[in-house]
Homo-oligomer: A and B are copies of this chain.
Amino acid sequence: MEKYEDNFESFLENFKNTVSKLGYKNSIQKDYILKILYFNDDHLSAEQIVAIAKTNYKVDMGIATVYRTVKFFEELNIVNSLDVGDGVKRYELNLSLHHDHMICTLCNKIIEFHDDVIEEQQKKVAKNSNFILKDHIMTIYGLCKDCQ
């Protein structure tokens, strides 16, 4: 717990420096959105971020700010957005190596995974089609352990 706190603090410091260097301004909203994404390994919607800010941190935040901020984060490549298929975008911090998702069609739980074989094969497939791979998403739908 303490360890994560520490990690987050340095991550936040680093991020704030980047923001300043780019000529943008820091704000408590940016801080809290990062904090919320950092300490919730869920994949959160804009509305959920507002709700968590309010209940867990007693911070009121306009939803427009959340949308603008996560878009800003996406451009800086520290946040990914993902489309579960229900018409609501969810956001996750882009800290670790690339990963994909398994989504339970019953309880909507999102499980992250990474597989090198698939990653490699994707590169081959792209190459075979003369396609320059920049990114990919892969989502497996099914039943999680608990819902079977």
Instruction: Identify the A interface with B (CB < 8 A).
Output: 83, 85, 102, 104-105, 111, 113, 115, 117-118, 121-122, 125-126, 129-145, 148
Copy tally for this chain in the complex stands at: 2
Which residues on B sit within 8 Å (CB–CB) of A135?
140-142
Q: Cβ of A138: which chain B residues have Cβ within 8 Å of it? A: 122, 136-139
**Is B122 touching A133 in the complex (CB atoms < 8 A)?**
no
Q: Report A95 CB to chain B, min CB distance, Å.
A: 20
A113, B144: Cα distance in complex, Å: 27
A129 and B45 alpha carbons, distance in the complex (Å):
25
CA of A134 to CA of B85 in the docked complex: distance in angstroms?
15
User: Complex formed: what's the CA distance from A142 to B136 in Å?
Assistant: 8
